[in-house]
Amino acid sequence: MKRKDFYQLLHPLTDKLYRMATTLIPDDLQAEQLVIDSLNAYLIKEKNKILAGRELDSLSKKDIQLQRRFYFKGILRYMSEIGVRRSSQLADQMKLAGPSNFKTFYGLGPKVRLVMSLRYDFQFTVEEIEDITTMPRYEVIEKLHNGRFLLLNDFNQGVQL
């Protein structure tokens, strides 16, 4: 696959990558750096797979969608690894930078935010989340359950009857 074809495949995914980075790190500059670092890590470590890919002209629309999803999941794998680590390092800084509208969500741990975003924002299955995050299935389900519980519990406390 040519470099031009690879970037053409990734272009529609840029908004999703930035959205995921902002989920992990609410600071715009840090989120942008996370996207750059994740993409660079993917390009360096998966170079042979990318170069071995078929030319874009020879792919059907369905194959293009499958290829795009494959690359997206690969980049997310690196983003989740780098982002969770960086989010933990920047925890104190993020308390000040976090959006006040979503204080409860950004109060959750980075792995919980990651798993919830992958499931509810990007519509990945538990098996796909397991593959992206390299967490065992029980841990993915636990983080989904705990995250939902904490968000709903906080939401219900604000409701006046």
CB atoms closer than 10 angstroms to residue 35: 20
Residue 74 has pLDDT above 90, yes or no: yes
CA nearest to 18, candidates 42, 36, 43: 36
Q: Which has the minimum average pLDDT: 8-17, 48-57, 106-115?
A: 48-57
Query: For residue 119, what are the contacts with CB-CB under 8 A and spacing of at least 6?
Result: 126, 129, 144
Query: How does pLDDT run across 97-147, given as a tens digit for each residue?
Result: 556 667 788 888 899 999 999 999 999 999 999 999 999 999 999 999 999
What is the number of domains present in the chain? 1
* pLDDT level of residue 161 (50, 70, 90 thresholds): very low
Tokens representing residue 104 in the block: 């409860």
Q: CATH no. for residue 44?
A: 1.20.140.160
Question: Is the pTM above the cut of 0.75?
Answer: yes
Query: Domain range spanning residue 80?
Result: 3-157
